[in-house]
Chains A and B, each alone.
Chain A
Amino acid sequence: MNATKVSGRKQPLIYRLPVISHFRSSVGLQRGMLVTGMVLAALFLLVAVFAPWIAPYGFAQLSDAAGPFPTQQPPSPAHIWGTTVGGYDVYSRVLWGAQTAAVVIIVAVAMSIFLGVALGLVSGYFGGWLDRVFVVIADAIYAFPSLLLAIVMSIVISHGQSSFWGGIVACSISISVVFVPQYFRVIRAETIRLKAEPYVESAKVVGASSIRIMGRHIFKNATRTLPLIFTLNASEAILTLAGLGFLGFGIEPTSAAEWGYDLNKAIADASSGIWWTGVYPGTAIVLTVLGLTLVGESINDLNDPRLRGRKKAVAGKGGPDSTAGTQAAPEAEAEVRLP
């Protein structure tokens, strides 16, 4: 995206980074949404990184120097968000849960981007029967309820329950199976469009290999929409992880703190009026997903000139690549298909 050498004035790298460039072109309400989203997402990341230092107890800790933790205790100075039926400290588990969620998102989305982009490039560039087979399979998977697919995958990979890294990897693979078709579709569509561009043909004429054309000429121009899909998928990944945990196919509570699992246990508590075991982890999920979705939404709107708030176009854009990039159709499609 930022490697094409455009003669003339060029903005510093920092202004061309995805979120920052979007921030600069936003106004009013859209800027508010973007900033809110960024604050929430940053908070989530900070908690995820610093959980071991912020959390007063470990995620699987059941007792301290003063003796075992009481069970189902309402919020008190010792346990500011109360304790669960198993005697875990709710506050600590919510903080540690951010770490689990962050790791799963990163692993899952990285895997799906890698696979989806590679398959999409190959499929779109070469076409033919390979392309058709990939498209039919991707469509079949795409049409399938994603949570069910993730459940089936997690059963297959981990037989339901497992250790921290085992669980993380199992969850991530289960989630990425759902996402690969999405990246595949977007990248394939872009590749087919870019394949017809004059600069690709001229690269062919001078004898560049297919791999070089895909990697150098198409990849860098086709991945323009990835920040958008990344943020939207990150939020979906959290929801899928929580759904898996809620149904009991996630990570074991002694291996890692996981919000979905905690909510599963909290459903039974709710009937007897115990609210603190469910409300806190649930709110954590909502705020995290909300933050990531707000960022994704804003990027989507700012990419689409029809949805962008009124402000003059960003100056300094030039060169054949960026004019080719003003077509907003893929984003529009991505938005319609979002949830």
Chain B
Amino acid sequence: MTTLTEAPLNDADGLLPSKKKSSGGGLGTYILIRFFLIIPTIFILVTLVFFLMRVIGDPITAAQGGRLPPEALAQRIHDAGYDRPILVQYLEYVGQVATGNFGTTITDRRPVVEMIITFGTATLELAINALIVALLVGIPLGLIAAYRRDKAPDAFLRFFAILCYATPVFFAGLLMKLAFSVWLGWLPVAGRASTRTELAMGSLAAPTGIYWLDALRSGNMAAFGDVAAHSVLPALTLGLLTAGVFLRLVRTNVIGTLGKDYVEAGRSRGVSNYRLVTKHAYKPALIPIITVMGLQIALLLGGAVLTESTFEWKGLGYQLVQYLNARDFVAVQGIVVMLAVIVAVTNFIVDVVAALIDPRVRY
């Protein structure tokens, strides 16, 4: 995603945008171009999802066929406009999506946008918790692995990273449930909070939907403790999946920078190995890590769907499966398009951050 230009490497002497016309425009132009590249990505995905979903038939027959008498079904199909030519429907849908209107779900007749906001906050909370776990575990362990390269700690940590990747999130979740909830009895089995806590937070004036924030605002420490206890296992489950990726990335990149000339120069001046890793090699190695972090958001969202189903965490992923089982394809389409937008926008932000850090990235 980050294409290096033919700009000479010694151009990278500062964060100032390059004045030379030959190496392309400045940062502003880059951000602008990169921003406009989001649109075809989202457009393609909307198109893909729309036509894939319509291959099966119209959404109303899929959701309620057999449950309604044929006339009523035909009436609803007509009212919703699903009997028009597919291209007309497609253009209309694209127009709606462009104005932020995703339609209304078929099964529970809610505006899709409202549904996404309600459940999206839960997913956001889970993703943030997991990302914190992943960074706290992945980066230090990656540094240790690079520092003790080809020694026992490195071998162990690399194995650990592969194990993180090899364990499906739902199996990791199952093991954690067995260990911490059933046998040790320390943590709750599933859900985002116990019913009492949810009731206590329900009285808040404007709930954010992010439970730990709401619990803090309600000033009820028991509720906060309850929310925290519920978040531990899902966050660990999803976080460890991503932690393995970070560990490997940090290790590979730090080892790569450790081979650079300036690190050699530092070593020849007697800088300790520890200082070389933590001061000299660490920061340049972060740039590819930030870029790949953006790609991880897709993995994280996919993992979130599975984690939410494992722990009955009522977020977008959990809801997506419910809607899929109910054959509510308007809702499914909305959620899938929304997730695509999230991924595309995250990648955009990541690329901009990478460009801010490294002038060579710019077009």
Contacts and interface: CB of A to CB of B under 8 A. Distances in A.
Interface of A: 28-29, 136-137, 139-141, 143-148, 151-153, 155-156, 159-160, 235, 239, 242-243, 246-249, 260, 263-264, 266-267, 270-273, 275, 278-279, 282, 285-286, 289-290, 293-294, 297, 306-307, 309, 335-339
Contacts of B77: none
Interface string B322-356: 00110000001000100110011001000000000
Contacts of B155: 29
Contacts of B324: 151, 155, 160, 247, 249
A339 B249 CA distance: 11
A278 B174 contact: yes
Nearest to B164: A339
Contact of B302 (A145, A152, A273): A145
Interface stretch (B9-17, B23-31, B45-53): B45-53
Contact of B168 (A285, A335, A336): A285
Interface residues of B, number: 61
A147 B316 CA distance: 14
B41 A282 contact: no
14 contacts: A139-B1, A144-B339, A155-B56, A249-B324, A270-B182, A278-B174, A278-B178, A285-B167, A286-B166, A293-B165, A297-B162, A306-B259, A336-B292, A338-B245
A152 B167 CA distance: 23
Contact of B171 (A155, A282, A336): A282
Contacts of A141: 45, 48
Interface in B244-293: 244-245, 248-249, 252, 255-256, 259, 288, 292
Contacts of B309: 246-247
Interface of B: 1, 40-41, 44-45, 48-49, 52-53, 55-56, 150, 155, 162-163, 165-168, 170-171, 173-175, 177-178, 181-183, 189-190, 244-245, 248-249, 252, 255-256, 259, 288, 292, 295, 298-299, 301-302, 305-306, 309-310, 320-321, 324-325, 332, 336, 339-340, 343-344, 347
Nearest to A154: B324
Contacts of A248: 321, 325
Given A146-B298, A270-B177, A273-B183, A156 B339 contact: no
A306 B166 CA distance: 25
Given A144-B45, A145-B299, A270-B178, A285 B183 contact: no
A294 B48 CA distance: 35
A89 B284 CA distance: 54
A216 B101 CA distance: 51
A148 B339 contact: yes
Contacts of A263: 168, 170-171, 174
A145 B295 contact: no
* Residue of B163, B178, B336 most packed against chain A (CB within 10 A): B178
B298 A144 contact: yes
B256 A306 contact: yes
Nearest to A147: B302
B44 A140 contact: yes
B52 A282 contact: no
Contacts of B163: 286, 290
B165 A339 contact: yes
A94 to B, nearest CB: 13
Given A246-B170, A247-B306, A286-B163, A156 B53 contact: yes
A322 to B, nearest CB: 24
Contacts of B288: 336
* Residue of A147, A159, A235, A289 most packed against chain B (CB within 10 A): A147
A233 B127 CA distance: 25
Given A286-B171, A339-B245, A153 B292 contact: no
Contacts of B48: 140-141
B298 A143 contact: yes
A131 to B, nearest CB: 15
A337 B306 contact: no
A337 B321 CA distance: 28
A140 B40 contact: yes
Given A143-B41, A335-B252, A156 B56 contact: yes
Given A139-B41, A243-B168, A246-B168, 20 more contacts: A29-B155, A140-B40, A140-B45, A143-B41, A144-B298, A144-B343, A145-B299, A151-B324, A152-B332, A155-B324, A242-B168, A260-B168, A260-B170, A267-B173, A285-B166, A285-B167, A293-B165, A336-B288, A339-B165, A339-B299
A243 B56 contact: no
A176 B337 CA distance: 21
B271 to A, nearest CB: 22
Given A248-B321, A339-B165, A140 B41 contact: yes
Nearest to A288: B166
Nearest to A273: B182
A267 B166 contact: no
Contacts of B170: 242-243, 246, 260, 263-264, 267
B189 to A, nearest CB: 5
Nearest to B342: A145
A129 to B, nearest CB: 13
Nearest 6 interchain pairs by C-beta: A282-B171, A147-B302, A289-B166, A145-B302, A140-B44, A290-B166
Contacts of A156: 52-53, 55-56
A152 B295 contact: no
A309 B149 CA distance: 11
Nearest to A266: B174
A149 to B, nearest CB: 9
A246 B307 CA distance: 11
B174 A29 contact: no
A7 B346 CA distance: 52
A139 B43 CA distance: 12
B190 A271 contact: yes
Contacts of A147: 302, 305-306
B192 to A, nearest CB: 16
A81 B113 CA distance: 47
Nearest to B54: A156
Given A29-B150, A247-B321, A290-B166, A337 B295 contact: yes
